[in-house]
Amino acid sequence: MKLQLLYHEYLNLKFNRGLPSVPFDGFEYGLLEEDGAELFFVERKDEAFVEWTYELQPRDPHYVVSPDWKPVLSAFFNHLDIYDELVLYYLLFTINTTTSIVRTHPFLSMNDFMKNYCFFQLAQLTDASGLNEEQRQQLRDFFFFFYLYAHPVNEETLNAFSFNGQDLIHTKTNILMEHYFTVYHDYYSENLDKHRDELFIAPHEIHACKDLTLELLRSIEGKSPKLIMPSEEGLDVLLQLINNVDDLIHMNAENKTTLFGIMKDFLSDNRLNPYRQHCFRMLLQNYVCYILYFKFDEIDDLVDYFKGTPVWCEAIINYIFTDAIFIQKMMRQNQIDITKYPNVIEFFNEEARRIYL
């Protein structure tokens, strides 16, 4: 399966781009009554990709006084306990729901944006030669934290995983997630008769789910070709900076007024639509994560460039500070006091002031 094709179809439906659908292996999107969309099996329109494991969710041992059962895969992972099993299930579900298109309540839209954004960035990092290895690892941990946090997951799941190089592992047991998910899918496809009351798809469909889940995982690990945001008329330069992080880093280092000019050109363009707006939000959060993350004082140059057009300056500053909470965590990590940047606070809207002051 080519994940890029699926990702383009995801964006096509999510932002109502109106492009012809492109088929991909074994799955197709179907619209839901609540105005969202899920991946369905091509041969089985009543079963969604994210739903096939619903009945396989392990019992929660936290609500049992003396849990006395073993994990389903204990024969393959003898150091796995029933608490770990539940956490690994939550991760599987989180990864699979990356494909879901949900029309969220406005108060949940930030989480939806952050999860989508972090998934895309995790796929980019391996090719970001403008960062050193330490910086890439810092951002990999940062993006994966928010990928889980924005799902959202419980605190136990949020802190259960780490990267060993590019391999995502369950920290406590050192189990490779790629190995675990492979064994998980193979077990159920080979033992379907034991689980007839819980499974409603065929072995070849479980294998299709395995292939897709592993592709999503490898993209998160940065082992697959990086994802690309599709082109749209008038967005070529902006998309170049999104799809090639090195270009953003280089442009900011060599001639940041050119970068700011691209932002200015977008704001002066009246051809707004949901996809164009999403791309601009991504560019600004890239500026946060790849520039301000390592040198927060760069924000002074941004404000100096735009302060002559206060409406645009206010728009950019508030996108940066209220579209996502990346910068909030970054400031806490680096003990940055925003009150020492009155030139920035000057352009805060009411929401930004409520959050940061």
Tens of pLDDT, residue by residue over 8-51, are 999 999 999 999 887 777 899 998 887 789 999 988 878 899 99
The confidence score (pLDDT) of residue 263 equals 97
Percentage of the chain exceeding pLDDT 70? 99
Q: Are 241 and 248 in contact (CB under 8 A)?
A: yes
Q: Are 329 and 355 in contact (CB under 8 A)?
A: no
| Token pair of 86 as six digits | 């539940």
Nearest CA to 26 out of 12, 42, 11, 46 is that of: 42
What are the sequence ranges of the domains in the chain? 3-221, 236-356
The confidence score (pLDDT) of residue 1 equals 59
Mean pLDDT of the chain: 94
Percentage of the chain exceeding pLDDT 90? 88
Residue 354, Cβ density class (10 Å: 0-12 exposed, 13-18 middle, ≥19 buried): exposed
The confidence score (pLDDT) of residue 133 equals 95
pLDDT band at 351 (very low <50, low <70, confident <90, very high): very high
Tens of pLDDT, residue by residue over 242-262, are 999 999 999 999 999 999 999
> Any idea which of 25-29, 228-232, 236-240 has the lowest mean pLDDT?
25-29
CA 223, 110, 304, 261 torsion-angle sign? positive
Helices (H) then strands (E): counts for the chain? 15, 6
The confidence score (pLDDT) of residue 26 equals 84
Average pLDDT over residues 277-301: 98
Nearest CA to 171 out of 153, 180, 182, 159 is that of: 159
DSSP secondary structure letter of residue 293: T
Confidence check: pLDDT of 271 > 90:
no
> Any idea which of 31-45, 77-91, 156-170, 338-352 has the lowest mean pLDDT?
31-45
How many CB atoms lie under 10 A from the CB of residue 10?
A: 19
Average pLDDT over residues 319-343: 96
- Find the helix packing angle between 274-286 and 310-322, rounded to 10°: 80
| Token pair of 283 as six digits | 């560019």
The confidence score (pLDDT) of residue 103 equals 76
Cα atoms found within 13 Å of the Cα of residue 334, Cβ hemisphere only: 16
Tens of pLDDT, residue by residue over 196-211, are 899 989 999 999 999 9
Tens of pLDDT, residue by residue over 51-104, are 999 999 999 998 888 888 999 999 999 999 999 999 999 999 999 999 999 876
Average pLDDT over residues 116-128: 96
| Token pair of 84 as six digits | 């770990």
Considering only CA atoms, give the Rg of the chain.
22
